[in-house]
């Protein structure tokens, strides 16, 4: 009996050490380029869970002197990173009532494909456009916006119906083709002065920039969609986790998933560097909005947000998960702004029209505190 207790105690301590090591790996993940070592990026995805698990482990083992103290010191050091994931303040109602504020909505619309399968793409398109009208949006950044290449296609006919805003900027697509294509789209009620596209090394466009003239000045708006994880098969397996197929193919599927993660981490890191370099050369204050497919504990997040304000800090509440198909709270859609732009409020809208939730940010011209 004593032997079993010793074994259990040893296993418990080993698990605590492994949790502690995983937390350290997650804490350094924003500083390590996935091209050099992508494994740290994997731990970064689970940072909030690892932080809370280590806090619980330290409290349970408080009677031991050395390890819990080391864990608690590490937890304190990692608290700022934890606060990037979790907001306690919520939106400032007084700030939300500012009359001269502008409203920005960033939304990955997932091709207007209803994840519940209950609505047609045209119905979802109408519902999403109606959301923009209700929120009185001045600026909309959409990812995976579907356009039919053929000019006679349905989405082109519906493109300019209210509530879409009068000034639109699309990423590149072939106007003479015959198939549907998902693009980046920035829509605004203010005049567009200039526009452009940013490409990744494989010639894929992952961001567009739009110089928009407001009464108070010009802002360069970046609409971003960094490399996706491409985990469609994994989602279907999770929904049917008791199937015999999953049990037989676990190792093979794990290897495939790891390869997808590695490729996505590396590509996003490179895209983030290209984007950050472009932002530094901007002649105007910037807003960077979109689907980053990466959390606040990621290398891509740190590189892009350097010198900018994360709008989540202005009123994010809870974890504000922006990916609707994950039970684990994960915020991968972000809005950053230059110090010359004052972010008044942040809201994650629980609209179930896509596999993402829209992010609504109110801002005005002025310095962030």
Output the 3-class SS for the chain. Answer: CHHHHHHHHHHHHHHHHHHHHHHHHHHHHHHCCCCCCCHHHHHHHCHHHHHHHHHHHHHHCCCCCHHHHHHHHHHHHCHHHHHHHCECCCCCHHHHCCCCCEEEEEEECHHHCCCCCCCCHHHHHHHHHHHHHHCCCCEEEEEEEEEECCCCCHHHHHCCCCCCCCEEEECCCCCCCCCEEEEEEEEECCEEEEEEEEECCCCCEEEEEEEEEECCEEEEEEEEECCCCCCHHHHHHHHCCCCHHHHHCHHHHHHHHHHHHHHHHHHHHHHHHHHHHHHHCCCCCEEEEEECCCCCCCHHHHHHHCCCEEHHHHCCCECCCCECCCCCCCCCEEEEECCCEEEEEEEECCCCCCCECCEEEEEEECCCC
- Tell me the residue range of the domain where 107 lies: 98-365
pLDDT of residue 164: 60
CATH code of the domain containing 102? 3.60.10.10
The CA–CA distances, whole Å, from 12 to 9, 57, 75, 92 equal 5, 10, 20, 44
**Tens digits of per-residue pLDDT, 277-317?**
999 999 999 999 999 999 999 999 999 999 999 999 887 88
Whether 102 is covered by a domain: the verdict is yes
Looking at the structure, tell me whether residues 296 and 217 fall in a common domain. Answer: yes
- The mean predicted confidence, pLDDT, of the chain is 83
Among 144-148, 189-193, 272-276, 291-295, which is the least confidently predicted range?
144-148
Domain tally, the chain:
2
151 pLDDT higher than 60: no
Task: Return the residue matching tokens 């290209």.
Answer: 274
Tell me which of 61, 85, 109 is where a domain ends: 85
Q: Which residue has the higher pLDDT, 158 or 162?
A: 158
Q: Whole-model pTM? A: 0.88
Looking at the structure, tell me whether residues 140 and 163 fall in a common domain. Answer: yes
Looking at the structure, tell me whether residues 62 and 150 fall in a common domain. Answer: no
Looking at the structure, tell me whether residues 120 and 71 fall in a common domain. Answer: no
Q: Which residue has the higher pLDDT, 343 or 171?
A: 343
Looking at the structure, tell me whether residues 296 and 357 fall in a common domain. Answer: yes
């Amino acid at each position: 009996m004593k032997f079993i207790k010793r074994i259990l105690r040893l296993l418990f301590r080993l698990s605590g050490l492994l949790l502690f090591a995983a937390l350290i790996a997650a804490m350094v993940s924003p500083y390590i380029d996935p091209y050099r070592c992508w494994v740290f990026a994997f731990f970064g995805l689970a940072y909030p869970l690892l932080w809370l698990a280590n806090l619980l482990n330290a409290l349970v083992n408080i009677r031991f002197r050395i390890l819990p103290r080391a864990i608690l010191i590490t937890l304190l050091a990692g608290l700022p990173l934890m606060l990037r994931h979790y907001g306690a303040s919520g939106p400032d109602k007084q700030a939300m009532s500012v009359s001269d504020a502008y409203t920005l909505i960033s939304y990955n619309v997932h091709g207007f494909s209803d994840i519940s399968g209950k609505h047609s793409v045209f119905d979802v398109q109408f519902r999403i456009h109606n959301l923009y009208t209700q929120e009185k949006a001045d600026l909309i950044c959409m990812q995976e916006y579907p356009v039919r290449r053929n000019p006679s296609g349905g989405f082109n006919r519906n493109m300019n119906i209210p509530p879409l805003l009068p000034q639109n900027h699309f990423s590149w697509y072939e106007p003479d083709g015959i198939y549907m294509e998902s693009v980046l789209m920035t829509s605004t009620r203010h005049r567009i002065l200039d526009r452009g596209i940013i490409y990744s090394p494989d010639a894929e466009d992952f961001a567009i920039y739009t110089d928009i003239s407001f009464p108070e000045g010009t802002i360069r708006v970046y609409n971003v969609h960094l490399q996706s994880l491409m985990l469609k098969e994994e989602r279907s397996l999770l929904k049917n986790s008791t199937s015999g197929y999953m049990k037989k193919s676990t190792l093979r599927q794990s290897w495939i998933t790891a390869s997808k993660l590695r490729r996505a981490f590396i590509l996003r890191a490179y895209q983030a560097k290209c984007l950050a370099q472009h932002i530094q050369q901007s002649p105007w204050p910037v807003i960077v909005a979109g689907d980053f497919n990466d959390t606040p504990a990621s290398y891509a997040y740190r590189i892009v947000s350097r010198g900018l304000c994360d709008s989540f800090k202005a009123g994010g509440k809870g974890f504000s998960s922006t990916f609707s198909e994950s039970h684990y709270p994960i915020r991968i859609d972000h809005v950053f702004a230059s110090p010359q732009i004052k972010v008044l409020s942040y809201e994650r809208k629980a609209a179930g029209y896509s596999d993402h939730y829209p992010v609504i940010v109110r801002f005005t011209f002025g310095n962030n505190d």
